[in-house]
Structure 1
Amino acid sequence: MLNLPSAREIFALTLGLAASIFAPLTVAGSGQVFLIHTGDIHGHLVPRPNVRSDAVGGTEGGLARMYTLIQQIRSKARQGKVNRSLLINTGDTLQGSGEALFTRGQAMIDVLNLFKLDAHAPGNWDFLYGTARFEEVFKGTNERAPLAPWNALASNLYYTKQFDDATECGITGKDAHGTIRKLKRVLPPYAIKRLGEVKVGLLGFTTARAVAALGPKVTAGYEFTDAEIELPCYVDLLRNREKVDLLVMISELELSKDIKLVEVNSGVDVVLNSDMHEKTTRPIIVRHASAPSTLLFEEGQDGTMLGELQLDVKGGKIADWKWTPHIISAAIKEDKGIVAKVTEVRKPFLKGSFVPGQSVTVGGNTSTLLHPVDEVIAYSQVSLHRSNFVDEDMPAVVEGSSHDLIADAMRWAAGTDAATLRGFRYGTHIPAGQPITMEDIYHLNPCSHPLNNS
């Protein structure tokens, strides 16, 4: 006997077919996207000299100049009411100057909050003031919003003793009973942004070397990974579940590490990187045999450079791109509102309005500021910097005159015949014949100084 469907079953089947036919399809997006990238600002609020061979004349950097340029790009990117730009900051931001140190980063937060950042990848030095301060700044505590609402992302940052069995693409640890469980993340791993029709996935990575760089005290309770587990998993998740058109990795893992990561893990369109203060005047391109290429960028140091990447996306793929590396030069007019805020946060640190006795405790060590940061303490007959290029002076060696100065000071203080320090581009530039101020010392070595307590 033939079993025919009932009228109710026919009606339900008809509705199901209609729903499947008219259900919204996932359509790949098309349009222009502007990525505006800053990185490794390192507490620099105002312009500084450049004594390297790539100097453009006058001073470089300064947040008031940077903001002017950002607003110009944003204006160019806007199409009617559609925002097509994202402002992304990566790397060490809350450390690198006396003003940053003695406010535990608040001086930088107060100014950069005016920039309306869309995303941030924390750097190793952003953990300097301890994990409680880190969460107060970037995560929010006790139902309070983060002091820096920059949409901080870090897929490779976990609590060592907190667990969340819903964690995706993560690592595991043992709980108090010895049971293997998934570690809980401190910050969100990624964010999705819509720019017109284009769906952009932002995948964040913080440093992998915070404990080695800063010590176990200020990073206690946190665990950092090298992203080798998280990256391929999240590429798959963002591409296949979230269906992003554009996948942007924002990272403080070091440029060389990111190159290696994307060489073996295709699917990332763009890497905006920080950490080693490399200056990519043209992009590094990693080509894949059966997938689109990956573009990598880094913006030097101290807020002296800003990257502008214009992408033409068609059908969910990059059809064309244009990269513009902007040097933040004296030719850029300062934004008056940012100038006012920078003046406000710097006022307690300068002669005439200096507030003595400001203290900060880092890793159990307390330092007190007894001198205004613009006080002159010495002069140099040679230009000082710690940021040469490896094809100049000493091939393949990162060294500068400030390296020599610091190493000689260490040798003198210790009474030794030799002293060494890491060859790393870091700190301010001081032209020959110009005074050396306390501010310069904090830019070169932003931690406690014996001068403060003398």
Structure 2
Amino acid sequence: MRILATLAAFVFLNAARVTISSAAWPDHPDSLIILHTNDIHAHLLPFDDSQGTVVGGAAARAALIARLRSSDRKTLLLDAGDVFQGTPLYNFFRGVPDYRSMTLMRYDAGALGNHELDDGPASWLRARSEAAFPILSANVFVAGDSSWASRLFPVPAGIRRGARWIGGARVPDGAPLRYLATPYVVREVDGVRIAMLGLTTGEIVSIVSRTRNPGVAVSDPIAVASTLVPELRAKADFVIAVTHVGVGEDRALASRVPGIDLIVGGHSHTFLWDPVFVSNRNANGYGGTAIVQAGRWGDRVGRIAVGVGPRGIRGLTDALLPVRPSEGEDPRVAAMLQPFRDSIATSMDKPVFRNPAPVSMSGLEQGETPLGDFVADVILETSHADLAVMNAGGIRAPLPQGRVTVGDIYTVLPFDNTVVTVPMKGWQVRELLDFIARRLGKGGFAQVSGVQFVIRRGRADYIRVGGHPLESDRAYRVGTIDFLYGGGDGYTMFEKAGPAVRSGVFTRDAAIDFLRRHPGYEFKKRDRIHWEGALPMRDLFHFSR
């Protein structure tokens, strides 16, 4: 059955007006229901949202999913990646409770996110054994000459074309490559053949650790989809791309690969209260592709209803439904999580600091922020440097008002990054700050300490280090993290500098010690970064990775 009929309705529903009652959607007896999540980032336990409401948690998400399934016969449950990294549960258990909880919820498939590779492919594969569902990526590969990789499927020449190793080097044509994850699956749901293709952001070339991912390669996701989607169209009635590329890239994918009916996306942490519809040459009867995404941290579950019958698609609706522990929790998931929770509760609940007001994480890639200044101050003091640089993407959560615990700091700084000190000449510091200036409003922007400068026409000007003008030939000490020193987020200028002094101190541990040494620390902007002219407009759909 090909999807040939005209789309009768493409109804956009605002989640604020939607209840969990199935009456909120068209009552097609043959509707396919797709539930979707993305960017959970190890938020397995409930947390407070910006309004102070307790939301999220795997047990509450499981209960909501069970309620939604109870009245829907044909249901798929999909996740668009970045299951890992973001709370202490990941730091201690490396994804095991995450995939175990998703197995209990009976996920049908998930995409491979970039943060699944934060500790390298071997660590991911160990956690992967807990997932009783396929994890999809058609464009992430591993070198095929190791003993463990020999068990994986080889990558065809047309798929691997243009592949690059993590770090950016091109993969030689003769190098053996194998799929790290499953590229796609085709399932039949009540007579409807559904293809699910996994795609991962090509940004992993620069945003995952090169040292932890030797032998990992990636191809352009759109190029790979262009090759595979025609094949999937011949096998299926309905083609879904489960992507971890961000909404901006999803739009490009839909425009350039018209055979996809639905994109279930992640990576940009976007709350798409209404689906994005991209008109293209899709021969599915409505000439386009719908894109959905459900924010981040699992405090919403998306619900899509697609009317698929003998005459094709009859309608498509979507809504983002709130996950509220007050409305019930799944006892099996709660019981599974309890031992993990108990084992770290004492250490994570230790007090660190008393905060008079909440500290937002917003605006980290749009300019200087109080939270960014704090982390940069931590690195400056720990590294004993002249100036310090911290990538905005490494700061992942706000700080609450009142009692701040060790667990809160882990959530703000979840990555296993350590503080390093790099010797640089003044001209190299200028190159570094010019790069930061070019990244204003984009991924890769940084927060700084010990330095002031003005962003002027995409360059750093009026640079002062320690209150004095930058001197091109003077030697400076630059504090940063090992991820940036290794070229992460495009900071390749560190490769021209001298060898780093490695402290071995995790950034989060340094932050805990810093706050305990400075109980009166004031979170505020300290006038370090200014700009002339209009602030560059950030890509609306891409702000978190």
Which TM-score bucket, shorter chain as reference?
Answer: 0.7 to 0.9
Q: Aligned partners of 1:131, 1:297: CA distance in 2, in Å?
A: 28
Distance 1:431 1:316, change over 3 A: farther
2:103 is matched with: 113
Distance 1:70 1:414, change over 3 A: same
Quick check: 1:205–1:251 contact (8 Å CA) kept in 2? yes
- Structure 1 spans left out of the alignment, 5+ residues: 1-25, 79-83, 139-145, 352-371, 389-393
Deviation at 1:212, TM superposition (A): 1.5
Specify the code of the residue in structure 2 equivalent to 1:267.
G
2:120 is matched with: 130
2:411 is matched with: 443
Q: What do residues 365-409 of structure 1 show as CA deviations (whole Å, max 9, x unaligned)?
A: xxxxxxx11111112112123246xxxxx9x93886533432343
Q: What do residues 114-165 of structure 1 show as CA deviations (whole Å, max 9, x unaligned)?
A: 1121101111111122222222333xxxxxxx23223111100122345977
1:59 is matched with: 54
Distance 1:423 1:130, change over 3 A: closer
Deviation at 1:213, TM superposition (A): 1.6
Deviation at 1:331, TM superposition (A): 4.0
Distance 1:126 1:399, change over 3 A: farther
Q: Aligned partners of 1:344, 1:165: CA distance in 2, in Å?
A: 39
2:31 is matched with: 32
Q: Aligned partners of 1:168, 1:72: CA distance in 2, in Å?
A: 45
For residue 346 of structure 1, the aligned residue among 341, 349, 353 is 341
For residue 221 of structure 2, the aligned residue among 223, 227, 241 is 227
Is 1:73 equivalent to 2:89 in the alignment? no
Q: Aligned partners of 1:414, 1:425: CA distance in 2, in Å?
A: 17
Map residues 235-246 of structure 1 onto 2, 5 A cutoff. Answer: 235-240=229-234, 242=235, 244-246=236-238
Deviation at 1:168, TM superposition (A): 7.2
For residue 288 of structure 2, the aligned residue among 287, 290, 293 is 293
Q: Aligned partners of 1:338, 1:439: CA distance in 2, in Å?
A: 21
Specify the code of the residue in structure 2 equivalent to 1:197.
G
1:44 is matched with: 43
2:361 is matched with: 386
Quick check: 1:125–1:210 contact (8 Å CA) kept in 2? no
- Structure 2 spans left out of the alignment, 5+ residues: 5-28, 165-171, 417-505, 514-545
Distance 1:93 1:305, change over 3 A: same
| Bigger Cα displacement from structure 2, 331-340 vs 180-189 | 180-189
| Bigger Cα displacement from structure 2, 150-159 vs 311-320 | 311-320
Is 1:375 equivalent to 2:364 in the alignment? no
Specify the code of the residue in structure 1 equivalent to 2:361.
R
Is 1:148 equivalent to 2:131 in the alignment? yes
Deviation at 1:65, TM superposition (A): 0.9
Is 1:88 equivalent to 2:78 in the alignment? yes
Distance 1:418 1:380, change over 3 A: farther
Quick check: 1:167–1:185 contact (8 Å CA) kept in 2? no
Quick check: 2:222–2:257 contact (8 Å CA) kept in 1? no
Other structure's SS at 2:264 match: strand
TM-score w.r.t. length of structure 2:
0.64
Deviation at 1:103, TM superposition (A): 1.7
Is 1:278 equivalent to 2:270 in the alignment? yes
2:332 is matched with: 337
1:308 is matched with: 303
Q: Aligned partners of 1:421, 1:166: CA distance in 2, in Å?
A: 37
Deviation at 1:424, TM superposition (A): 4.9
Q: Aligned partners of 2:98, 2:84: CA distance in 1, in Å?
A: 6
For residue 261 of structure 2, the aligned residue among 269, 272, 277 is 269
Specify the code of the residue in structure 2 equivalent to 1:247.
V
For residue 410 of structure 1, the aligned residue among 374, 379, 388 is 379
More contact order relative to length (CA 8 Å, sep ≥ 6): 1
Q: Aligned partners of 1:92, 1:166: CA distance in 2, in Å?
A: 23
Distance 1:86 1:399, change over 3 A: farther
Map residues 200-215 of structure 1 onto 2, 5 A cutoff. Answer: 200-215=194-209
Q: Aligned partners of 1:401, 1:304: CA distance in 2, in Å?
A: 26
Q: Aligned partners of 1:287, 1:418: CA distance in 2, in Å?
A: 49
Deviation at 1:238, TM superposition (A): 0.7
Q: Aligned partners of 1:103, 1:421: CA distance in 2, in Å?
A: 26
1:7 is matched with: none
Q: What do residues 237-287 of structure 1 show as CA deviations (whole Å, max 9, x unaligned)?
A: 0112x1x11111001122211211211211111111111212111111111
Distance 1:343 1:428, change over 3 A: farther
Q: CA RMSD in A?
A: 3.0
Deviation at 1:420, TM superposition (A): 5.3
Q: Aligned partners of 1:130, 1:99: CA distance in 2, in Å?
A: 18
2:527 is matched with: none
Is 1:199 equivalent to 2:193 in the alignment? yes
Deviation at 1:61, TM superposition (A): 1.1
Specify the code of the residue in structure 1 equivalent to 2:263.
V
Quick check: 1:385–1:427 contact (8 Å CA) kept in 2? no
Other structure's SS at 1:35 match: strand
Q: Aligned partners of 1:191, 1:228: CA distance in 2, in Å?
A: 18
Is 1:103 equivalent to 2:93 in the alignment? yes
Q: Aligned partners of 2:154, 2:336: CA distance in 1, in Å?
A: 44
Q: Aligned partners of 1:118, 1:399: CA distance in 2, in Å?
A: 42
1:217 is matched with: 211
Q: Aligned partners of 2:368, 2:60: CA distance in 1, in Å?
A: 29
Deviation at 1:195, TM superposition (A): 1.3
Distance 1:100 1:407, change over 3 A: same
Q: Aligned partners of 1:257, 1:192: CA distance in 2, in Å?
A: 24
2:159 is matched with: 170
Deviation at 1:228, TM superposition (A): 2.7
Q: Aligned partners of 1:35, 1:156: CA distance in 2, in Å?
A: 24
| Bigger Cα displacement from structure 2, 286-295 vs 299-308 | 286-295
Distance 1:321 1:348, change over 3 A: same
